[in-house]
Structure 1
Amino acid sequence: MYKVLLVEDETVIRQGLRELIVQAAPQFQVTGEASSGAEALDFLRCEVPDVLITDIRMREMDGLTLVSKARDMYPELLMMIISGYGEFEYARRAMQYGVLNYLLKPIERHELALCIQKIQLLLDRRYGISTLPITELSGKEEHAGGDTRKIIRDVKEHIKQHPDGDLRLQTIAGLVNLNPTYLSQLFKNETGTNYSEYIVQARMERAKWLLINTGLKIYDVARLSGHQSPKHFMLVFKQQVGSTAGEYRDRFSIS
């Protein structure tokens, strides 16, 4: 049984979170609760939980300060932030402190369960219970340290390898174990391009390659480059490239 310290200044919300945690992960037990950062630190001086879950905005001491102090006390402590605030700066600072997840309220049970599942895998490996690689759950332990360039490289490589897959921001954020709002801002800061625009560009480049290097039908090119509707694909292709897909193939095909 893994021990959780839950920190939230609103009693009703804290009780709800406790129930969500128990329902989502029976192997986790909330052994400590605190209504402020100062109260949480008092708990940490006496007991060492396996996981710290905290809100950000609280009286006396905010959650980020708590996370910073907890990290100094216990460098290996796994931490998660649950907050009603999605500002990029909050998420960025949380990642600097090695927070594994930054979830926004209202919390979806499935999202919380996925995050706790990844935390359990980390703990199982730490205590020699499991030998599965961390990537079995598509989470990368090194991401917790805020290696932003590697995160973006991983995202771009995934897009390149799966242009016809589910590339919704929420899905990709789950793969790299980040909050979607944070990943979107991070992607824009690192690449200078909006995530959605990058997806459109990547899929169009894939379509061009297929047109030049294969004899596939246009509707197959559309499908394999992530465009569900051949009609929409042809419209978008003409708008972006300045010619139809057939004209582009005739002009540049190597066959």
Structure 2
Amino acid sequence: MYKVLLVEDEKVILEGLREMISQTAPQFRVMGTAAGGTEALEFLRSDVPDVLITDIRMREMDGLTLVSKAREMYPDLLMVIISGYGEFEYARRAMEYGVLNYLLKPVERHEWVTAIQKIQLLLDRRYGVSSSQTMDTPGEAECSSGDTRKIIRDVKEYIRLHPDGDLRLQNIADLVHLNPTYLSKLFKNETGTNYSEYVAEARMERAKWLLVNTQLKIYDVARLSGHQSPKHFMLVFKQQVGWTAGEYRNRFSTDEQL
């Protein structure tokens, strides 16, 4: 499930966008909303969406200023501007900031669907997800080698996309309609790694990425990488990586990100 931050100061339009996402983009979830740029930036300091969708004309901070600041925080963030203003200059400046789409109000449904499909394709490629990925695999007691590979591939992709989610074996087994013990055995046979060890490693890799590519607080990095306790996260990070989280960030972040 990809996370969307909606920024719009007109409540009716905001709710309309939320409903359109719900109806046309089942792989996307609105994780947060903001009535203006300042509120949106506060949100971005504590969480990382996959997509930012913002109006261009707002009272205390216009959308172009917001996307420029968001781009500084998250260079790879996908962004879409929706506006009632069709002047060429706005569109040109939006493209300079790397905005993926510039849609005019009222947004035509087919234009929206085209835009969101393009975004999903880009995110699927980024995270290594098959465009035909589903989690509704058969629940036979035994699986063929092809079925097994697909199940384990889907499980690994789900873990990669949801490091901050509930990744207990029972929950993942329910998703793929298998007995937890059987799934655990399949996972170990296919990957050579215990399921719990794989989850821990995936979460640590997510934490490393967040430390290097964002300026989130350490406790936010811990939360977004699936670690419930910041203190435990810092202890485990030092044990596994050899540096504290702060030392790792200082060592591997670029000058622009510091």
TM superposition score normalised by structure 2: 0.50
Q: Quick one: distance in 2 between partners of 1:74 and 1:108?
A: 29
Q: Quick one: distance in 2 between partners of 1:101 and 1:45?
A: 24
Q: Quick one: distance in 2 between partners of 1:61 and 1:131?
A: 36
Q: Quick one: distance in 2 between partners of 1:130 and 1:78?
A: 19
The 8 Å contact of residues 7 and 40 in structure 1, kept in 2 or not, is answered as: yes
The 8 Å contact of residues 54 and 63 in structure 2, kept in 1 or not, is answered as: yes
**SS of structure 2 residue aligned to 1:49:** coil
Instruction: Tell me what 2:23 maps to.
Output: 23
Instruction: Tell me what 2:113 maps to.
Output: 113
Q: 1:27-56, CA deviations, whole angstroms, 9 ceiling, x for partnerless residues?
A: 100011000000000000000000000000
The alignment's C-alpha RMSD in Å is: 1.2
Instruction: Tell me what 1:86 maps to.
Output: 86
Instruction: Tell me what 2:248 maps to.
Output: none
Q: Which stretch shows the higher mean deviation, 66-75 or 20-29? A: 20-29
Which amino acid in the other structure matches residue 52 of structure 1?
A: L
Instruction: Tell me what 2:71 maps to.
Output: 71
Which amino acid in the other structure matches residue 110 of structure 1?
A: H
Verify: 1:129 aligned to 2:97, yes or no: no
Q: 1:26 to 1:131 in 2, by over 3 A?
A: closer
1:25-174 equivalent positions in 2, closer than 5 A: 25-130=25-130
Which amino acid in the other structure matches residue 36 of structure 2?
A: S
Q: Quick one: distance in 2 between partners of 1:21 and 1:98?
A: 22
Q: 1:60 to 1:110 in 2, by over 3 A?
A: same
Q: Quick one: distance in 2 between partners of 1:102 and 1:130?
A: 27
Q: Quick one: distance in 2 between partners of 1:39 and 1:81?
A: 17
**SS of structure 2 residue aligned to 1:114:** helix
Q: Quick one: distance in 1 between partners of 2:109 and 2:73?
A: 30
The 8 Å contact of residues 83 and 104 in structure 1, kept in 2 or not, is answered as: yes
Alpha-carbon shift at residue 130 of structure 1 (Å): 3.2
The 8 Å contact of residues 56 and 82 in structure 1, kept in 2 or not, is answered as: yes
Q: 1:220-254, CA deviations, whole angstroms, 9 ceiling, x for partnerless residues?
A: xxxxxxxxxxxxxxxxxxxxxxxxxxxxxxxxxxx
Q: 1:45-101, CA deviations, whole angstroms, 9 ceiling, x for partnerless residues?
A: 000000000000001100000000000000000000000000000000000000000
Q: Quick one: distance in 1 between partners of 2:101 and 2:114?
A: 10
The 8 Å contact of residues 84 and 106 in structure 2, kept in 1 or not, is answered as: yes
**SS of structure 2 residue aligned to 1:46:** coil
Q: Quick one: distance in 1 between partners of 2:10 and 2:126?
A: 32
Deviating 4+ runs (over 4 angstroms): none
Alpha-carbon shift at residue 131 of structure 1 (Å): 7.8
Q: Quick one: distance in 2 between partners of 1:22 and 1:82?
A: 17
Q: Quick one: distance in 1 between partners of 2:124 and 2:82?
A: 23
The 8 Å contact of residues 121 and 130 in structure 1, kept in 2 or not, is answered as: no
The 8 Å contact of residues 8 and 14 in structure 2, kept in 1 or not, is answered as: yes
The 8 Å contact of residues 121 and 131 in structure 2, kept in 1 or not, is answered as: no
Which amino acid in the other structure matches residue 86 of structure 2?
A: G
Which amino acid in the other structure matches residue 92 of structure 2?
A: R
How many residues of Structure 1 are paired with residues of Structure 2 in the alignment? 132
Which amino acid in the other structure matches residue 46 of structure 2?
A: C
Q: Quick one: distance in 1 between partners of 2:45 and 2:108?
A: 31
Q: 1:141-178, CA deviations, whole angstroms, 9 ceiling, x for partnerless residues?
A: xxxxxxxxxxxxxxxxxxxxxxxxxxxxxxxxxxxxxx
Q: Quick one: distance in 1 between partners of 2:130 and 2:77?
A: 19
Is there any run of 5+ residues in structure 1 with no aligned partner, and where? 133-255
The 8 Å contact of residues 81 and 103 in structure 1, kept in 2 or not, is answered as: yes
Instruction: Tell me what 2:8 maps to.
Output: 8
Q: Quick one: distance in 2 between partners of 1:16 and 1:101?
A: 18
Is there any run of 5+ residues in structure 2 with no aligned partner, and where? 133-258
Quick check: which has more Rg, 1 or 2?
A: 1
The 8 Å contact of residues 71 and 77 in structure 2, kept in 1 or not, is answered as: yes
Q: Quick one: distance in 1 between partners of 2:93 and 2:22?
A: 28
Instruction: Tell me what 1:154 maps to.
Output: none
